[in-house]
Amino acid sequence: MIFETWTPEETREIGKQLGENAEPGQIYLLDGDLGVGKTVFVQGVAEGLGIRGPVNSPTFTILQVYEDGRIPFYHFDVYRIADIDEMDEIGYEDYFFGGGVCFIEWAELIEEILPADCIQIRIEKELKKGFDYRRITIDK
């Protein structure tokens, strides 16, 4: 599935719809360059899950847990991970194989521990279509 957006609000809206339909046990991998809109997308997902609190990239913690929505929401941002052991230290398996939904920004950095059946989301710019244009590709 491919979506095209021209504003952050549109990207957020696609995330929101996905959040409304997300199911326990799903793991979403979110890749794309810095500043492309991964966190904007995740903020929409959180809204769709009914989470009220502010959602920002958990830059210094790898993982942020939100439990006030329809199902638990586990937001990883592994951009600053230096060693895969850091994932063991936070007990990632409890989240990957728990009863919530996982979103992992920069998932490509922890490829070796990802289960096979994740849903991949890639966000890309294409500057010739404008500075705010984004292409969002979702693959099962």
Q: What is the C-alpha to C-alpha distance for residues 91 and 1, in angstroms, rounded to an integer?
A: 32
| From candidates 14, 15, 27, 32, binder to ligand ADP by CB under 6 A | 32
Nearest to 87 by CA among 101, 56, 96, 43: 96
Which positions from 97 to 126 touch Mg ion by CB under 5 A, shown as an x/- string?
------------------------------
Are the C-beta atoms of residues 2 and 137 closer than 8 Å to each other?
Answer: yes
Measured from the CB of residue 97, what is the shortest distance to ligand ADP in angstroms? 25
- How many other CB atoms are there within 10 angstroms of residue 15's CB atom? 28
For Mg ion (CB under 5 A), the number of binding residues is 3
The size of the chain, in residues, is 140
Span from 33-41, 44-52, 83-91, 92-100 in contact with ligand ADP (CB under 6 A): 33-41
Q: Give the residues lining the site for ligand ADP (CB under 6 A).
A: 5-8, 11, 32, 34-40, 57, 105, 132, 134
